[in-house]
Amino acid sequence: MVKSICMSIWVLCISISSFGQKSKVSSHPKLVIGLVIDQMRWDYLYRYYDLYSANGFRRLIEKGFSCENAFIPYVPTYTAPGHTCVYTGSVPAIHGIVGNNWYDAEAGKDVYCASDPAVNTVGSNSGEGAMSPRNLWVTTIGDELRYSTNYSSKVIGIALKDRSAIFPAGHSANAAYWFDGSVGKWISSTYYQNKLPAWVVKENEKLLPDAAMSKDWNTLLPIEKYTQSTADDKIYESEIPGEKTVTFPHRLSQLTNSRYEAFKYTPFANTYTFDMAKEAIDNEKMGMGDVTDLLAVSISSTDYVGHTFGPNSIEAEDTWLRLDADIAGFLQYLDTKLGEGNYLLFLTADHGVSAAPGFMNEHKLPGGTYSSGTLAAELNKMLDSTFNIKNVLISLENNQLYINKNVIKNAGRNASEIQNAIIDFLKGKPYITDAFLTENIAATSIQATIKERVLNGYNPKRSGQIAFLTRPGYLDGSGKGTTHGMWNPYDAHIPLLWFGYQVKQGKTNREVYMSDIAPTVTGILGIQMPSGCIGKVIEEVTR
């Protein structure tokens, strides 16, 4: 009997001790943090793994859940549709954001995805704030979260790029903030508010971009440690705006003109974004109420660096190592502020990127470049000489051609004849594997996976009339730097990590999709999925 009593007391003491060592876990996540890393290929998780700290990417991988085979289910794989898909669970065919830009036939002009002439800039005198989510046709996670709590949840989007802050935040967000490179400050638009909150004004008064640009960019580690990168000086690398060299150290302190624009091309702008995210949590008391809040954070400088120097550059490797430290610091902040296990964080990317064509040629890999501008000019010249019609091609965006139907009609020509001539011309290019009418995608004889992604990216209201596919590794560019946009794994295979509230440690090699993120988050929250969602819950994350 005495032994039994002593054992009971011992168990009780252990239970009390254990309880005291852990932060109390809420019945719902206090805060959902969506962390989208612009231009992050899946392989970056492991390529630099040995150089990452224990508390950044490695903590998310080792303590969270990793979807190792997450893919983008549509083309083109660009920033605006990527961020939109993450937070809507939908594809361009449904949500309407078919690219960063498209041609609006009704308006007769090219359209930027987030442009909105009905609103004005808040925070500067430039036009950089004339933006809103009005071109988005469906709801987001944030919209559904706000609706589910009778609009008591707070939803905020933060990114250097306007489109990367606006579309994740959604229609009914409390705010979205992005960086105005003309003045070096965070701004917003009158869609959300008529003036910046005092805390954002105070954040701008810190002049953090000025402080960062007063110093030079040297490598974080001794340069000989960057064994996953090419030599520092490569002819196929481009320069940071204002610089005349592609090598370290980057003399940021010597830049005078466009120095805030150049700031975006440095890893210090990532740190700046995380600082803004922390200030938003602190000042808006996110995660401090009785309902779940949502903070959508996008890291954009990885994209600027990647486009400029390529994914095999020392600049890229240094940027990822510095980002790892930023993520470690952000996770520690969240642990302290909200308590470990009280927040739900997912990390993914809006798209990947191809190796620089110059790098591929250097290593005898297939790939090359072409010019969409030259292609468009050649097409119009061919149509003029063959059919005596000028300016048939209005625009070439997203590997799609927008045709001027009125020009063809007024010339008394048969539209099918003209379209067939364009398709034959495109197929004659060595870097183009196929071309077809977008309205006939379903009947086109192309590989099934590619066909599905092309279909998911086609929107009759906003897409062109003819689309074409290029050979793997062939990019629209000048030969310097690199880009993205296609269905290939280098562009479409993205990381997807889950961490925190209800997340089980582990991984799956099952193929999942970017469109599965939104229904998984809303499933965990117990709310309705967004209005255009076609994704499925990734049950392994919490099972």
The string of DSSP codes covering 213-277 is: HTS-B--SS-GGG-TTS--S--TT----TT-S--SSSB-GGG--TTHHHHHTTSTHHHHHHHHHH
| Residue 293 per-residue DSSP state | E
Phi first, then psi: give them for residue 205, nearest 5 degrees. -70, -10
| Residue 355 per-residue DSSP state | P
What is d(CA 530, CA 536) in angstroms, rounded to the nearest whole number?
Answer: 12
Nearest to 42 by CA among 536, 492, 518: 492
The string of DSSP codes covering 151-211 is: T-S-EEEE-SSHHHHHHHH-TT-SEEEEEETTTTEEEEETTT-SS--HHHHHHHHT-HHHH
What is d(CA 387, CA 325) in angstroms, rounded to the nearest whole number?
Answer: 60
The string of DSSP codes covering 227-242 is: TTS--S--TT----TT
Nearest to 206 by CA among 272, 262, 269, 156: 272
112 near 78, Cβ under 8 Å? no
Q: Residue 247: what residue type? A: T
Contacts of 347 (CB under 8 A, 6+ apart): 35, 36, 37, 60, 327, 495, 496, 497, 499
Q: Residue 113: what residue type? A: C
Q: Out of 77, 79, 292, 308, which one is annotated catalytic?
A: 79
Catalytic: 79? yes
Active-site residue numbers? 79
